[in-house]
Amino acid sequence: MVCLQEVRSEPEQLPAELRDLSGWHALWAPAAAKGRAGVAVLSRRAPERTVIGFSSAEFDSSGRYAEIDLPGLTVASLYLPSGEVGTERQEEKERFMAEFLVHLVQLRERAAEDGREVVVCGDWNIAHQPADLKNWKANQKNAGFLPEERAWLTRVLDEAGYVDVVRRLHPDQDGPYSWWSYRGRAFDNDSGWRIDYLMVSQILAATCIEAYVERPASHAERWSDHAPVTAVFDFGQLH
């Protein structure tokens, strides 16, 4: 499985070799606003069901959520708004969070009724704890580390019942960071944020045997301000 965020392209704008990947089934969810956002889910197996958006009148055309069902598993790709304190962008982020938490609860409950597990991958644009960003003291009043945002992410874990599998396997370390600003020497100094998560249902989380950030070896080898987050599951443990 591969989940992508900030695709920013309509499917027809992609080169054919990317749009029609041999051996892959792709669900593309572009944003109505051209050149903005966009998410995708790629799977080796044909999905049984595909959904774009989460029944939100405001956000379903914003290219921020796509979901597929596979046998025994629901996989979703998320690009949560980044926000900016004191602006309409932050208000938009808060509205998205309020609606999306309801969806996360319903998604997990519906999956449990169907005997399915869930993984929601993506850019959540919130660092949860001080261990999730290098300069946490200086960012307590900035979007992405506001107390109310962090409290919301706690609700995703406690109230909605998901597990952050990277933190579960790396409980006592700073990071591993997944995003670094292009400003200054943030990447070289590993002055990053951990804002890209795989949030997973409880039973599936127990089968996660490896989770890590694929940090490039050098600044010159970066192709994004984010690095891929990868998790490996032993699905045999589910049976």
**Cis before 176? omega within 30:** yes
Alpha-carbon distance 22 to 137, whole Å?
A: 47
The catalytic position among 20, 60, 69, 123 is: 123
| Longest Cα separation, the chain | 49
Kindly report each contact of residues 17-24 with a partner whose C-beta sits within 8 Å and lies 24 or more positions away, as own/partner.
Answer: none
Closest CA to 39 of 49, 53, 25, 24: 53
DSSP designation for 220: G
The continuous run of DSSP H or E covering 26 comes out as strand 25-29
Identify whether 123 is a catalytic site residue. Answer: yes
Assess contact for 134 and 192: CB atoms under 8 A.
yes
Q: What is the DSSP string of 75-105?
A: EEEEE-----TTSHHHHHHHHHHHHHHHHHH
Alpha-carbon distance 127 to 211, whole Å?
A: 17
Closest CA to 196 of 210, 181, 179, 175: 179
Alpha-carbon distance 124 to 160, whole Å?
A: 15
DSSP designation for 133: B
Assess contact for 230 and 214: CB atoms under 8 A.
yes
Catalytic (active-site) positions: 123
